[in-house]
Amino acid sequence: MTSLKIVFCFLLISFSAFAQKDYKLWLQYDQISNSQMAQEYNAEIKGIVSLGSSETSKIALKELELGLNNMLGNKIAVKSKFEGSNNVIVGAKSNLNSELLKTIQDDFNAINEEGFIIKFISLKNKKQIVITGKNDIAVLYGVYHFLRLLQTNKSIKNLSIADSPKTNIRILNHWDNLDRTVERGYAGFSLWNWQKLPDFIDQRYIDYARVNASIGINGTVLTNVNANALILTPQYLEKVEALANVFRLYGIKVYLTARFSAPIEIGGLKTADPKDIAVANWWKDKAKEIYKRIPDFGGFLVKANSEGQPGPQNYGRDHVDGANMLADAVAPFGGVIMWRAFVYSEHDANDRAKQAYAEFQPYDGKFKDNVIVQVKNGAIDFQPREPFHPLFGAMKKTPIMMEFQITQEYLGFSTHLVYLPKLFQEVLEADTYQAGKGSTVAKVVDGSLYKNKLSGIAGVANIGNDLNWTGHPFAQANWYGFGRLAWDPYLDAGVIADEWLRSTFSNNENFIKPVKKMMLQSRETVVDYMTPLGLHHIMDTGHHYGPGPWVSNLSRPEWNPTYYHKADKNGIGFDRSKTGTNATAQYASQVEKIFDNSETCPEQDLLWFHHVSWDYKLKNGQTLWNGMALKYQEGVNEVHEMQNTWNNAEKYVDEERFKEVQMLLGIQYKEAKWWRDACLLYFQQYSGKELPAGVEKPTQTLEYFKSLKFPFAPGN
């Protein structure tokens, strides 16, 4: 379809919606169209009784009303006392009368502070549904879960649910700058309108809090890890306080990034040495000042001595010194320090993948109780595929939290449809073997492997001020899925996709089945057309948009794509086995053994761990060169399939979102071909081989691809 035709069709049909549906994310609360389920719900739900009087109780009640009234197409009566049966009774434990409490007392043993109970009970022979928990936030979570059951057309007969989150800290990291640009942001600009805060509370802050509460997110870091100390000045703290006041009612704590040199930049001190008494006191006073405004302030996220950020090493100190000094400052107030392990020395370009482990593992057990080390899912930097980070499970006395990237820095920005929970699940299910078989990353992350008190999972947000919040309508699923996995790292990505599709688009099976399949395949698709067989970090310079495997001129060697693929006429791939940099030795021996041997190394990680010949025989009998080229083509073909799948879904989707996704898939298809062509032309210089049958010839030259410049690519 020519773009003009697309434009025109778009025009004809797009008048009345005024972009509402996009904005509502997965809280569409569309009227239930399945008549059988609608009947069941209407029969089972006749009224609402809200037992709390706090502001959060009122929010929970309003959400329940909003959801039920819209989904059932009826105004459900809100009663002030128990009349009749089939009321949804909502209230925290302290608000339940003794009669009610008696029916569910034991269930409270099955949940933690944030968990909820949803149960059909019998009160004076009348059936009632109770949604409760140990406090109002837990009840709010229960309300959202209950509404999700209806959104996803689940039966609610004889409900008996007791659910608790498995991690403590379920947190978004916004790489938002104070000028409202967002580093690696592809969904517009920062939500936080600092200039109008504290007095202007944008409706979007409230809707942000709602949707996060609906997936159990309980924390948000407002500022970029490449930090600006000004956020810690009174002028900005007043604004942060205003945001905290909104988010608190939804159970979301506010955190900030701490610029390690803040004592100098805004404190007037001459040093930021963590062992300096004046510096430690400055942070103590700063913490006191913050907690006076924000009593439940979460704490600090810190990027130190990484990519130019200041840190303890500037003063001959180490990460433990830095983290513990900050930990002492916030400990009296219940705060935590999330200290990032994303380090790689500018003086040692040996193997970037080894450096975080080498630097941090020796510090095991030395951090204070309220410090948690934040580790990216893989040892390089959020590639379409990376083996799990060797630090998971390797620090037995230090809590480690996961850092996932929800924003698609290396996965096609907000233009490419990629369902990331498949990536997240793959990492979480990986067995580290650090405490024997079954020592999965999920067990590290939820703290159960080593019985940590602190546990957590962070996601670098893909949220901005675009009307649809995430740039691509399907990128919303990654925010959703991140939240669900933060709550329960053992969930299946397919189950999550199903929930999301039903809540966001439609419960029609003819829609769900193919679109869910498309989502579940999409991660492997992007791996295929960008970085198959373990290739990584071959994106173009700086902005990471589009292919750049030829780039070799950056100021640090380990920023160059050539460093990562090491293509030459003999082969391709990074030897991280014992014949190379021996990065495999950082894993438990069972894992090391598997990765070390190219025969046993999973083929999807082959070129991450091994440098192999262009003639290397893959499991399917193809040579490495042919197999790689066919993978690229497979990726392109799969995007074409995605386009077909989506086109067939037209009748199930509102016109506007249908067209949005259709246009974006069109771009994704073009870009998949761009990736294939640019990479194969480049690597072909080294393989010296023809493209195998089945791989389309490129339509441009390598010089053309090398000439493409994107000076204003977003997020950079």
| Active site amino acids | 307, 381, 409
**Closest CB to its own copies among residues 137, 664:** 664
Half-sphere exposure of 252 (CA within 13 A, CB side): 30
Q: How far is the CB of 273 from its own copies (least distance, A)?
A: 27
Q: How far is the CB of 288 from its own copies (least distance, A)?
A: 21
Q: How far is the CB of 661 from its own copies (least distance, A)?
A: 10
Rounded to the nearest angstrom, the gap between the alpha carbon of residue 575 and the centroid of all alpha carbons in its chain is 30
Q: What angle, rounded to 10 degrees, do the helices at 136-151 and 203-214 form?
A: 80
Q: How far is the CB of 659 from its own copies (least distance, A)?
A: 8
Instruction: Determine contact, residues 499/419, Cβ cutoff 8 Å.
Output: no
The token pair that represents 233 in the structure block: 């000045």
Q: How far is the CB of 289 from its own copies (least distance, A)?
A: 18
On the 0-12 / 13-18 / 19+ scale of CB atoms within 10 A, 153 is: middle
Query: Bridge-partner residues for 458, per DSSP?
Result: 171, 403
What is the SS3 assignment for 500? helix
Instruction: Name the residue type at position 672.
Output: A
d(CA 78, CA 81): 9
Q: How far is the CB of 24 from its own copies (least distance, A)?
A: 6
CA angle at 228 for the pair 224 and 234, rounded to the nearest 5°: 115
**Closest CB to its own copies among residues 82, 194:** 194
Taking alpha carbons only, the member of 301, 144, 120, 128 closest to residue 213 is: 144
Q: How far is the CB of 402 from its own copies (least distance, A)?
A: 29
Half-sphere exposure of 278 (CA within 13 A, CB side): 9
**Closest CB to its own copies among residues 476, 586:** 476
**Closest CB to its own copies among residues 59, 629:** 59
Q: How far is the CB of 203 from its own copies (least distance, A)?
A: 5
Q: How far is the CB of 701 from its own copies (least distance, A)?
A: 17
**Closest CB to its own copies among residues 249, 679:** 249
The token pair that represents 660 in the structure block: 């949005």
564's enclosing H/E stretch is helix 561-565
**Closest CB to its own copies among residues 188, 571:** 188
629's enclosing H/E stretch is helix 624-648
Instruction: Determine contact, residues 327/367, Cβ cutoff 8 Å.
Output: yes
The alpha-helical segments, DSSP class H, found in 51-202 are: 55-72, 98-104, 136-151
Q: Are strands 400-405 and 456-460 parallel, antiparallel or unpaired?
A: parallel
**Closest CB to its own copies among residues 88, 427:** 88
Residues found near its own copies in the complex (CB under 8 A)? 3-4, 6-8, 10-12, 14-16, 18-20, 23-24, 55, 58-59, 62-63, 66, 178-181, 186, 188-189, 194-196, 198-201, 203-204, 206-207, 210, 230, 242, 245-246, 249, 413, 415, 465-467, 545, 656, 660, 663-664, 666-667, 670, 710-714
d(CA 286, CA 262): 10
On the 0-12 / 13-18 / 19+ scale of CB atoms within 10 A, 528 is: buried
The token pair that represents 637 in the structure block: 């073909």
d(CA 576, CA 611): 8
d(CA 335, CA 636): 48
**Closest CB to its own copies among residues 144, 363:** 144
**Closest CB to its own copies among residues 86, 181:** 181
Q: How far is the CB of 632 from its own copies (least distance, A)?
A: 21
**Closest CB to its own copies among residues 22, 426:** 22
Instruction: Determine contact, residues 530/384, Cβ cutoff 8 Å.
Output: yes
Using alpha carbons, list the distances in angstroms from residue 82 to 44, 61, 97, 280, 535.
15, 15, 11, 56, 62
Query: For the range 713-716, what are the long-range contacts, defined as Cβ-Cβ under 8 Å and sequence gap of 24 or more?
Result: 713/542, 713/543, 713/545, 714/185, 714/186, 714/413, 714/543, 715/182, 715/183, 715/184, 715/185, 715/186, 715/407, 715/409, 715/413, 715/543, 716/183, 716/184, 716/542, 716/543, 716/544
221's enclosing H/E stretch is strand 219-221
Q: How far is the CB of 140 from its own copies (least distance, A)?
A: 12
**Closest CB to its own copies among residues 181, 314:** 181
Sheet containing 77-79: order of strands: 77-79, 47-50, 87-90, 126-133, 116-123, 160-163
User: What percentage of the chain's residues is helix, strand, coil (to nearest 5)?
Assistant: 45, 10, 45
